[in-house]
Structure 1
Amino acid sequence: MLLSTMNDLPGYEVTEVLGETFGITVRSRHIGSQIGAAFKSLVGGELKGMTKMLQESRVEAQTRLVEAAGAKGADAILAMRFDANELGEGYQEICAYGTAVKVRKLAGA
């Protein structure tokens, strides 16, 4: 599956637009990590546990996006983006989204 944050794919022609597609995950951290993050926020600095959780969440959301586009028969996803929202205290939603398309490689590209 080709994945691009651009609106086009150099060297390819879009032959069919299959529509928007999404991959979503909602995560929470265990209470020990939340307490540790609260203490860390008092002195400042990176919250490494939170950073790790968000990186894993993005990978999971992107994997689900690719699976959803593949189920539609897509060859590529264009204009891929991430969105994140806090859902209550300690819950984070990560959404990967884009446009599922069929593409054809251009001659000479």
Structure 2
Amino acid sequence: MILSTMNDLPGHQVTEVLGDVFGLTVVVRAPASQIEAGLRTFFGGGEARGLAGQLHEGRLEARRRLREAAGELGADAVLAMRFETSELREGGLEICAYGTAVRARRIEEP
């Protein structure tokens, strides 16, 4: 399954648009990550690595779920893939990966 942030797929012809698909996950910030981020903000500078790691894992999971949803439709690829993140009241983050599921075939070069 090809995931692409582009609107087309070089070397391929889209033969069918199957529709929009998404993969959704919720990341609840670990207390240690929140403390680390707060201290870095207060004292200035540096990356909150714990929180960055959680967000990275969340994006990977959202992308995995997107790929699974597209596969259920029989897609070969997802085009115009994007991420959207929303903060939840309880201190968590909703991460959504979305795009357009398509069937595509490789273009044979002469």
TM-score range, shorter chain: over 0.9
Unaligned runs of 5+ in 1: none
Q: Are the equivalent residues in 2 in contact too, given 1:34–1:90 (CA < 8 A)?
A: no
Unaligned runs of 5+ in 2: none
Specify the alignment match of 1:29 in structure 2.
Answer: 29
SS in 1 for 2:108: coil
Using structure 1 for the length normalisation, give the TM-score: 0.94
Superposed displacement of residue 89, structure 1: 4.3
Superposed displacement of residue 40, structure 1: 1.9
SS in 2 for 1:7: coil
Among all aligned residue pairs of Structure 1 and Structure 2, give the percentage whose two residues are the same amino acid. 58
Specify the alignment match of 1:41 in structure 2.
Answer: 41
Specify the alignment match of 2:7 in structure 1.
Answer: 7
Alpha-carbon distance between aligned partners in 1 of 2:10 and 2:33, rounded to the nearest angstrom = 43
Q: CA RMSD in A?
A: 1.3
Alpha-carbon distance between aligned partners in 2 of 1:106 and 1:32, rounded to the nearest angstrom = 51
Alpha-carbon distance between aligned partners in 2 of 1:60 and 1:97, rounded to the nearest angstrom = 12
Using structure 2 for the length normalisation, give the TM-score: 0.93
